[in-house]
Chains A and B, each alone.
Chain A
Amino acid sequence: MKRWLYATLFIFLIVILSSCGKKAPLEDLTLALILGIDLDDKNNLVFYEINPVFSKEAKKGTESYEVKAKTIRDSRRLFDALTTGEVTAGKIQVLLVGKRVLQHEDWFPILDTVYRNPTFSMSTRVVTVDGPVSKVVVHNPEEKPQLSLHLKALIDKNYDRTRAVKGTLQELHREIYEKGMTPFISEVKKEKNIELAGISLLDNKGKYAQFLNVPESTLLLMLQNKKRHEITLTIPVLPNKDEKNIFHKNVISFAVNKVKTRIKPGYKQNKFQFNISITLTINIVERLFPEEKLNNDQLTAAIEKVLKKQIEDLIKKIQKKKIDPIGLGLYARAYQYTHYKKVENKWGEALAESDVNVSVKIDINSNGAVIQK
């Protein structure tokens, strides 16, 4: 009898086993690969969705839909009315957010379902669209892979080259709720093609604050110690004497081998003080002026000077908008907690008032495979 008892118990346990409730084979699903959020001219929320079409009869590999809905979850109802299969969020690669949405201070809560609902993928890249999202969504050139793959690859490749951020939903969530820093996400725009514009800096509530172009983005990521595989900078080191200067004979390009940013926070005269020292080891990869003009030491000094200036400009830009994408607040909190705690809730303003000193140190590792005289 014991055997039967065990068998019955086992079957009973299997039946009550909580499993993944619904079951739908892959081909019966409509996999949303891109979700877009935008505002139309009358400030109505518009949602876009792109999904692949597996059917061989369909000429295009993807289809895109546009609906006006109250919320993201509400939009699924409308998408379901349009698509062949059940719309599923598990594979959303890119979440496009229109700049018009970001310009409102209280936009972030509309993403609530994305975080609350576990079927959403947390590695979805959040990207700002400069201009209407619809233009990006309908863009479907024949010579490119489908948009979702292309956009994701575009972001990831530039992330590897230290020009953009991944800005996944998870990172965005942390940055929004972290008081010591403000969020930043990559930004694309549609000109003739879809191109990476740079980084959008948001304030602590998520409102659009400042745009950084690609070279500035690289500097920002350097300050955050977020160097990935490669950084290449091209900067002018000589004054522009030639009027025409068609061939930009005053610039030098170098690849950054190593970059180390040290931030030392202090508190003097009722304001914060940050000493930022950046050490770079570089390889010169391109030099369009003759070597006699600058010897090695002069060149080092020139590069240091230009870089310092650029970084200082960037920090001023940031301070002006009372935001902190570098995360200096995290350092302040770690080293000057008592002072930080007082201004915690208006950190942006405190940072705007603080002194930031930048020092850049360059070490030229190699001049390339050309004999240096």
Chain B
Amino acid sequence: MIRAKELSIKICSKEVKSVDVVKECFSRIKEVDSKVKAFLKLNEESALRQAQRVDKKENKKCGILEGIPIAIKDNIMVKGESMTSASKYLERYVSPYDATVIEKLKEAGTIFIGRTNMDEFAMGGSTETSAYKKTANPWNIEYIPGGSSGGSAAAVSAGMIPFALGSDTGGSIRQPAGFCGIVGYKPSYGLISRYGACALASSFDQIGTLTKNVMDAALLTSVIAGKDYRDPVCQPNEWIDYTKGLNGPDVLKTLKIGIPKQLSDYKIDPEITKYFNEAVNKLKAENAQVVEIDIPAYKYVPALYKVIMCAEVSANIATFDGIRYGYRSPNSVSLNDQYAKSRGESLGYEVKKRILFGTYVLGAKNYHRCYHQAQKVRTLLINQIEQAYKQCDFIFTPATLQMPVKFGETLPEECDIFLIAANLAGLAGITVPCSFTSNGMPMGVHFMGTRFSDAKLFKVANAFEKVASFDVDRYPTL
């Protein structure tokens, strides 16, 4: 599997046929997906037909991603296709329209290969809450791939597809990318339209990319980012080519990298600490300036995230009423009973638990002490992060504090707090793989930049990728 950037040039110049690329993807999928289980649905026939059309095209004008296959997380709508969000509730749902990112990908000429597995309604960090299947980590299939975009991360990591889309509400792109040894990018809040994506917690949700390398993340983002009146929080920014100047010289020189002193408050896997320190030294060797920053409110991140996210979940999932679409219980006697049974019978435990907790914290009796208080603590965290950016350009941490666990085991809640902080503050974040640990599994690091620093973030991540010794072209043996 070669890089998407190179593929786009070769397909456009007819040096490589799109049909051959698509066939290669499906042959790899057939070879390994019975073990990895990354995909919920595949569109082999339509993908091949689409690729043939690309190859037959006479005129030389190519879309930016003409003829390149992509996988889509199963919570983003593609017109006429099913979208389950890995829930039984949406088992028979067919999308009546394209999400904005899908419209843009179609315009750019990408080929849709299939839909990837995820935690039910993106609620989880292991892809185990999917109502359909459990996806494995391609580097060791006894371990979780992370989540909720676990299917997308595993598919890219195993070489089944050059890149994929995911969504990130509390690390859901970057954590699985870290666990699977690929690049995971969550844009600044408002950079990419969420129109047509299944909402989880609307003040955090963003669509983002899972790729083998930073260049492909920048390329894909250039296609899907941009203003959209249909997502009211989408900023009306001018179009940016994020690949431009990506390989420029001296990106790291004099760059100020902030490392939170709170890292020492947590139990971190010793190998993660070791390789993270090596990564810091590599940045120093490029003349980056490393400073210690202090954000005491990091300790509130798990509490903040759980309270606000569940509150927003309870509001968003309220739209699933079993009336306009989705599952309707055949066992009900009244309308209220129908709502309750339709949800009770079709939603998984994790989803129901979050709705119940969210409903509780929003209740008239608890609102002030729970939800309102959490929103104020969110302001505190944002203020402290803003202060920290006066001392540094980017905040640098390990992607996760622990390595992936086996199925059925749980990760400690502080495992991805440095990723979740980016969602709480609406900032841009990217994880880049940096090393393999002694058990043969990869680990990554996380750069977090200010809001709308995305172009610079790509440059820094790309420069780090070059100095990190991680072989981005290595694939797991399955």
Partners in one complex: no
